[in-house]
Chain A
């Protein structure tokens, strides 16, 4: 892993278009500012990890369904958004 030292208000670039700024530091917490293109998702790792776990649980818990598999038709939400 690459380890860099930064001070408050300093930043690092990841590629050409992602910038991470050190906004605040205290003994137990670092506050980061993230500038990324609108196409790039940014998540806290533990949130992503939780989604990964629930997906795998959904697979593990899935019962053997019976009946002939029919292709499902997906529809947009029919109710208008508020």
Chain B
């Protein structure tokens, strides 16, 4: 079946065309953004390792995130049962994990939120930010220096 093509003009990134089926649904919003449910994951040439979560409900909002295992190979989030049940995740192979990054002009001050990964069911496109309360993971873990230099171009 042909997917509906949608074009939006994004304040940060300019015009962008996508298909309705690519949109992520965060039914519970995100902490700090409880009313923003529809997000589009984007890549940009200038920051190739980042996935930008672009809100479609408020196009001025875009959050940079990365695959945590690209920077912390041993990252081992213990997801609570509600993560799997509320997102209807049945298998480990069907969800993606992203961590929000605070990008700073000085690359040495960048931090990554390992305490609250974004878990996305790739089958249903439903996502949720899961707070690992009681874990040793920091919400402001300094980004290791091996992060690609492209992020400095900001």
- Listed in ascending order, the chain A residues whose CB lies under 8 Å from chain B are 38-44, 47-48, 50-59, 61-72, 74-77, 79, 81-82
> Given A51-B129, A72-B41, A67–B46 Cβ distance below 8 Å?
yes
Q: Are A69 and B100 in contact (CB under 8 A)?
A: no
Q: How far is the CA of A82 from the CA of B92 in the complex (A)?
A: 12
Q: Could you tell me the distance between the alpha carbons of A41 and B101 in the complex, rounded to whole angstroms? A: 23
When chains A and B are docked, how far (Å) is the Cα of A67 from the Cα of B116? 28
Q: Is the CB of A40 within 8 A of B96?
A: no
**How many pairs of residues, A versus B, come closer than 8 Å at their CB atoms?**
140
Smallest distance from the beta carbon of B127 to chain A beta carbons, Å? Answer: 9
Question: Is A65's CB under 8 angstroms from B13's CB?
Answer: yes
Which residues of chain B come closer than 8 Å to A70, judged between CB atoms? 42-44
Q: How far is the CB of B62 from chain A (nearest CB, A)?
A: 6
- Residues 118-152 of B, flagged 1 when their CB comes within 8 A of A and 0 if not, give 00101000000111010000011000000000000
Q: Can you sample 26 A-B contacts with CB below 8 Å? A: A38-B85, A39-B82, A50-B139, A51-B32, A51-B115, A51-B139, A54-B102, A54-B116, A54-B139, A58-B63, A58-B103, A62-B64, A68-B44, A69-B54, A70-B43, A71-B18, A71-B41, A71-B43, A72-B51, A74-B120, A74-B122, A75-B122, A76-B94, A77-B92, A77-B96, A81-B76
